[in-house]
A and B are shown apart, each in its own frame.
Chain A
Amino acid sequence: GESVGLHLPTLSVQEGDNSIINCAYSNSASDYFIWYKQESGKGPQFIIDIRSNMDKRQGQRVTVLLNKTVKHLSLQIAATQPGDSAVYFCAENDSGGGADGLTFGKGTHLIIQP
Chain B
Amino acid sequence: GAGVSQSPSNKVTEKGKDVELRCDPISGHTALYWYRQRLGQGLEFLIYFQGNSAPDKSGLPSDRFSAERTGGSVSTLTIQRTQQEDSAVYLCASSLLRAPQPQHFGDGTRLSIL
Closest to B105 in A: A43
Contact B91 A95 (CB under 8 A): no
Q: Which of B31, B100, B104 contacts A46 (CB 8 A)?
A: B104
Q: Of B40, B41, B59, B104, which one neighbours A101 at CB under 8 angstroms?
A: B59
In the complex, residue of chain B having the shortest beta-carbon distance to the beta carbon of A36: B105
Interface size class of B (residues with CB under 8 A): 20 to 34
Residues of B within 8 A of A51 (CB): 100
Which of A44, A91, A106 gathers most chain B CB within 10 Å?
A44
Instruction: Please tell me if the beta carbons of B50 and A100 are within 8 angstroms of each other in the complex.
Output: yes
| Residues in chain B near residue A4, CB distance under 8 A | 42
Q: Does A103 contact B (CB under 8 A)?
A: yes
Q: Which residues of B contact A107 (CB under 8 A)?
A: 41-42
Closest to B50 in A: A100
Knowing A41-B107, A43-B91, A101-B59, the reply to whether A93 touches B99 (Cβ < 8 A) is yes
> Chain A residues in contact with chain B, CB under 8 A?
4, 31-32, 34, 36, 41-46, 49, 51, 89, 91, 93, 95, 99-107
Contacts A31-B100, A100-B50, A101-B56 known; list 19 others, CB within 8 Å: A4-B42, A32-B100, A36-B105, A43-B106, A43-B107, A44-B43, A49-B102, A89-B42, A91-B42, A91-B43, A93-B99, A95-B99, A100-B33, A100-B99, A101-B35, A101-B48, A102-B99, A106-B40, A106-B42
